[in-house]
Amino acid sequence: MKMDKGRAEKHFVTFRAAIQFAAPHTWPASVLPVLLGAAFSYADGFPTAVWRLLIALITGVLLQSAVNTLNDYRDFVSGIDTAENCDDPTDAALIYECDNPKAAFRYGLVLLAVAAVLGAVLTYLSGLQLLIYGGIALLAISLYTLPGVSFSSLPLGELLSGIALGGALTCASYHIQSGGFNSGRILYSIPAIITIAGIMLTNNISDIERDREGGRRTFPVCVGRKASQISLAIALVVSIALVILAAIFEFPGGFAVIPVLFFGAALNFIPLFARPIKPEVRVESMSRILSLHKWIITSYIAIILLHCITINP
């Protein structure tokens, strides 16, 4: 039910609204990169510190939730999200669940602050180099979500989100477990960068008309729906190919997982591109691309772990 305009504004975010803002269905975009980084570290011979991994997972979820909340806030105050063009309550909490954008903005900042505190704890335990990844993530979040400087309104937005979550989080997780940096693992994190950028690209493809009216210059707005879908399909195929190449040349002991990867990818890839990604199929399209991200990266992690078990039983 939409909020009544005559209702007095609340100065806080209710529990229901907080969950809607956090959007738990998107959390795999932050959870899986953390697990991927830990898997890389384990493959390189470093024992997994479970409690550090748990803190890193919570930090990643808080960062993802902050991005979701501040993104909703930005779209609302900029006039992109309105009661007329947002029919999905799970994608417009400020319209359906919270009538005070300032409260939502404060909630997003609180999420960021708690994530920063946990990040400081991890930095103390793992070394000052972790600040580099944290700085990259926070800078990317600021550039992507805050009004006035939002890169999400530009063609670079999708790639920026992939680098922040798929790249920085994966490398940070690796550092948390190993205490060091491995430049080679940046290249091996590219599938996570691509799939997370693909999530944002799918969202923006479905929102072309709304974004164009709001003055946003996202990649789909610039090149059109058809070219964007072709780009998305190519990017997803490249991410799958990179996982297969990693299995062949770096983690051959996990090659048995490849059929599972193909099955899960096909199960979602074909329906995703069976018809144009438009507003009326937005919910289904987002579900498919999120499932693709989960299948690809979870399979990747399974390949790495199976390799470790096979090589060092």
Quick: pLDDT tens for 39-96.
999 999 999 999 999 999 999 999 889 888 888 887 777 666 555 555 565 666 666 5
State the Cα–Cα distance between residues 226 and 120, nearest whole angstrom.
44
Q: Quick one: the chain helix, strand, coil %, rounded to 5? A: 75, 0, 25
pTM: 0.87
State the Cα–Cα distance between residues 47 and 96, nearest whole angstrom.
46
Return the pLDDT at 3. 44
The CA distances from residue 216 to 87, 228, 272, 277, 301, in Å, are 20, 15, 24, 18, 36
CATH assignment of 15-311?
1.10.600
**H or E stretch at 98:** none
What stretches in the chain show pLDDT beneath 70? Answer: 1-12, 78-99, 142-155, 312-313
Residue 81 CB partners (closer than 8 Å, separation 6+): 72, 75, 92, 94, 95
**H or E stretch at 289:** helix 282-311
pLDDT per residue as tens digits for the range 102-127: 888 888 889 989 998 998 999 988 88
Return the pLDDT at 22. 87
Locus of tokens 């599972």: 260
Contact of 196 with 293, CB cutoff 8 Å = yes
